[in-house]
Amino acid sequence: MQWRRRHCCAHTAKLLYLLSLLGILFFLVHQVWLPRLTGMPWWRGHPVVYGGGEAHSTKAKWNTSVQHSQWKFVIIPQPTFKADTNSSSHEKQGVYQTQQHTSLENTMAANTSQSDEGDLSGTITHGPFPYIINEPDKCTENRAAPFLVLLIATEARQVEARNAIRQTWGNESVAPALGFIRLFLLGKKDGELGLLQQRMLEAESRRHHDIIQQDFLDSYKNLTIKTLMGMNWVAMHCPHTSYVMKTDSDMFVNTEYLIFKLLRPELKPRRNYFTGNNMRGYAPNRNKNSKWYMPQELYPGDKYPTFCSGTGYVFSGDLTRKIYQASLSIRHLHLEDVYVGICLVKLGIEPTPPPNEFLFNHWRVAYSSCKYSHLITSHGFHPNELLKYWHHLQSNKPNACINAFKERAGGAHSHSSWDRLLVP
**More reliable by pLDDT, 218 or 409:** 218
pLDDT score for 137: 93
**pLDDT higher than 90, residue 261:** yes
Give CATH for domain 49-347: 3.90.550
pLDDT score for 123: 76
Q: Where are the domains of the chain?
A: 1-37, 49-347
pLDDT tens, 115-129? 333 344 567 888 899
pLDDT score for 125: 85
pLDDT band for position 177 (cuts 50, 70, 90):
confident
Average pLDDT (358-378) is 95
pLDDT score for 75: 32
8 Å CB contact between 244 and 315? yes
**pLDDT higher than 80, residue 148:** yes
The rounded percent of the chain whose pLDDT value lies above 90 is 59
Report the range of poorest mean pLDDT among 94-103, 319-328, 361-370.
Answer: 94-103
The reported pTM is 0.73
